[in-house]
Chain A
Amino acid sequence: MSKFNLITIVVAFLTFTAVFNITRQPDIIVPGERIETTVSDILGNDTQYDETEIQQIVTQAIQILNDGQSRRLKYLISAYFVVWLILMLYIFHLSQKQEQLQTELDLLNNQLQPDKAKEDRKGI
């Protein structure tokens, strides 16, 4: 894996995390009529109530729930991003090590058998 790939992974992770944390979670859209119908269903048609006040309370409750969920999801996704980012960086570190090992091995091979190494390179 080249350094370019590593940079791409890190940038992709950071961009996604940043965008996710900056942008707001889309609200759950509940139309006013639906709130009205549900409130009437719960309270029953006979009960007297201030329709506007109850509608305001329900809308506020939905807003609070929306904000809470949005906030929790952001933390959850950020945490899982961190887990994968750390593991991917470690795998990148291992692949770098493998490349380095291969280079050293080729160098040694060249010194021990210069003719054979040339043939090998031609074969590749």
Chain B
Amino acid sequence: MPVATALYVVTPIALFAALYSVFGYAEYEETMLEVQKIFYFHVSSAFTAFTAFAVTCICSIAYLVKRCVKYDLVAAKSAELGLVFCTIVLTTGPIWARSSWNTWWNWEPRLTSTLILCLTYVGYFILRTSVSTEQKERFASVFGIVAFLNVPIVYYSVKIWQTGGLHPPTTTRSHLAESMKHAWLVSWLALTLIYASLLKLNIGFAWAQYRLNKLQARTYSN
């Protein structure tokens, strides 16, 4: 069975498993009760976004070393998906915050650094659309590598700026009950599989578009 087919079959199964483990298996957190269930998709989305940005960084390095356009396409498409998951984090976060902390937004380190991360990758796409074709890939690759430096800053922001922010330190996972830990891992796996499936699909389109553009250029020049 090809990898793509296996991915498209496994992803919905993992998604159903994630929903079951979140709503049917994981126990309720004592203080926040039902609303804590947002955690499973909120934090998993954040980790999936980090994975996507890491792929962008690795492919950007690979592009600069090998100058193969496929790496640049993967980097761009992964950043696009990272931005999608970052948007999920930034929209589900305030909903959870409103219920648990009685505020939609707070300029605390984790929230602010996540917003900056999101805006940095918006900048990455602005750069890709505004630079001429010859230099686009090179500039975007450098930007993709530099932008990734934001990810560890987001992850360790609570530790770095100990200002009594609303987010718990990065060791949240270790305080979770066993059932919650399992549900979180299944949710993370499901979202990572969604990311992988969409990336595979998106790279296919991008590669087809690239080849079509080349063909069009050759046809019209003749």
Contact = CB atoms under 8 A, between A and B. Distances in A.
A72 interface: yes
A28 to B, nearest CB: 14
B219 A69 contact: no
B219 A86 contact: no
B96 A90 contact: no
A80 B32 CA distance: 16
B198 interface: yes
Interface string B85-105: 001100110011011000000
29 contacts: A72-B32, A72-B33, A72-B35, A72-B99, A75-B35, A75-B95, A76-B34, A76-B37, A79-B38, A79-B42, A79-B92, A80-B41, A82-B88, A82-B91, A86-B84, A86-B87, A86-B91, A87-B88, A87-B194, A90-B81, A90-B84, A90-B198, A94-B198, A94-B202, A101-B205, A101-B212, A104-B212, A108-B216, A112-B219
B146 interface: no
A97 interface: yes
A39 to B, nearest CB: 25
A97 B35 CA distance: 36
B23 to A, nearest CB: 10
Contacts of A101: 205, 208-209, 212
Contact of A108 (B42, B84, B219): B219
B45 interface: yes
Interface string B38-73: 100110010000000000000000000000000000
Nearest to B201: A94
Given A86-B91, A90-B198, A111 B219 contact: yes
Closest 6 pairs (CB-CB, A-B): A75-B99, A72-B35, A79-B38, A72-B34, A79-B95, A79-B92
A63 interface: no
Nearest to B212: A104
Interface of A: 68-69, 71-73, 75-76, 78-80, 82-83, 86-87, 90-91, 94, 97-98, 101, 104-105, 108, 111-112
Contacts of A91: 198
Nearest to A91: B198
Given A75-B95, A112-B219, 8 more contacts: A75-B38, A78-B95, A82-B92, A86-B84, A86-B87, A94-B201, A101-B208, A108-B212
Nearest to B206: A97
B176 interface: no
B215 interface: yes
A61 to B, nearest CB: 16
A86 B38 contact: no
A46 B99 CA distance: 43
Given A71-B99, A73-B34, A75-B96, A83 B219 contact: no
Interface string B188-199: 000000100010
A24 B39 CA distance: 24
Contacts of B201: 94
Contact of B84 (A79, A87, A98): A87
A86 B88 CA distance: 7
A17 to B, nearest CB: 11
Given A75-B38, A76-B35, A83 B208 contact: no
